[in-house]
Amino acid sequence: MLNPNDLIGLEISRAKNKNKIEDIYAYLLIQDLVKFPEYFATTTSSLRFHTLAVILNDIIINQRKNIIEFGSGISTLAIANLIKKNNLECDFISVEDNKEWFNYISSFLSRNDLQKNVKIIYVPLEKSNLALENNLWYSPQALKDNIKMNLKFDLVIIDGPGAWKPEIQLSRFPAVPYLINFLAEEFSIYLDDTDRNGENEIIKLWQKKYKMKFERINNTSSVCIKGKKLNTIP
């Protein structure tokens, strides 16, 4: 007879296998957007391919025009490449707080002729009156200096800043309070890492304060959609 620990281990293994299958299938769908002449390094912080495929489908199906992401990576390259290949009219902004990673992504974009399809900006973290528990967030002044706030964002990706340690697990909370007055009538907001306690707590706070409803798209990411809700999950 299996004991509770064995059952937990089986459930974890099942979830990991499900993630792998979803990501392999999604990669096959989007591989033309993430293949480059040189290898691009991904990390444990990178969006899963399944989540990325959902976002790319959302951009096409729902004709998203103004996109902002917090935390740059493979998603930055894939979205910029989608805009280029499909000749889309989109304003795409990527916000990054790690200067070395910002330099790496910027250089990669330039070498692959994608720099015109995304505005990547370096924004350091600092104290913010929007933050919880004295967490740091992106400098509001630096954001204001680099973003035309007359834009109305219809797609938001929140995968930064880092929130992997218990003391910073609520660091992503300010994103929605900051953008709440700069959202389009219809929009999607994606939050990554919703398999963690911090992100789940953030969702509860957002839902209570802003009457938003987030739904899982897979084991690790969730989305809030306002407006027409076409199925974008591959």
Question: Looking at the domain assignment, is residue 233 inside a domain?
Answer: no
Question: Looking at the domain assignment, is residue 160 inside a domain?
Answer: yes
The pair of structure tokens assigned to 19 is: 């993630």
pLDDT average, residue stretch 101-130? 96
Least confident of 85-94, 105-114, 119-128, 142-151: 142-151
| pLDDT category of residue 3 using cuts at 50, 70 and 90 | low
Mean pLDDT, the chain, as a whole number?
A: 90
For residue 19, how many other CB atoms are within 10 A of its CB?
Answer: 17
Q: What is the pLDDT of residues 167-176, one digit of tens each?
A: 999 999 999 9
| pLDDT category of residue 232 using cuts at 50, 70 and 90 | confident
Question: Looking at the domain assignment, is residue 232 inside a domain?
Answer: no
What gap in Å lies between CA 187 and CA 213, rounded to an integer? 12
Report the pLDDT value the prediction gives residue 8, as an integer from 0 to 100: 41
Closest-CA residue to 170 (of 197, 140, 190): 197
Report the pLDDT value the prediction gives residue 1, as an integer from 0 to 100: 47
Give me the number of domains the chain comprises.
1
Question: Looking at the domain assignment, is residue 70 inside a domain?
Answer: yes
Question: Looking at the domain assignment, is residue 231 inside a domain?
Answer: no
Question: Looking at the domain assignment, is residue 40 inside a domain?
Answer: yes
Report the pLDDT value the prediction gives residue 136, as an integer from 0 to 100: 96
The pair of structure tokens assigned to 70 is: 């917090």
Parent domain of 118? 4-226
- Per mean pLDDT, which of 3-17, 108-122, 220-234 is the most reliable? 108-122
Residue written as token pair 């957007």: 33
pLDDT average, residue stretch 187-197? 96
Report the pLDDT value the prediction gives residue 6, as an integer from 0 to 100: 40
> What CATH number corresponds to the domain at position 205?
3.40.50.150
Q: What is the pLDDT of residues 11-59, one digit of tens each?
A: 445 556 788 899 999 999 999 999 999 999 887 788 999 999 999 999 9
Question: Looking at the domain assignment, is residue 234 inside a domain?
Answer: no
For residue 74, how many other CB atoms are within 10 A of its CB?
Answer: 19
Q: What is the DSSP string of 142-163?
A: HHHHHS-TT--EEEEEE--S--
For residue 71, how many other CB atoms are within 10 A of its CB?
Answer: 24
Report the pLDDT value the prediction gives residue 164, as an integer from 0 to 100: 87
CA distances from 59 to 9, 28, 52 (A): 37, 18, 11
Question: Looking at the domain assignment, is residue 92 inside a domain?
Answer: yes
Q: What is the pLDDT of residues 76-98, one digit of tens each?
A: 999 999 999 999 999 999 999 99
Assess whether pLDDT exceeds 70 at residue 184.
Answer: yes
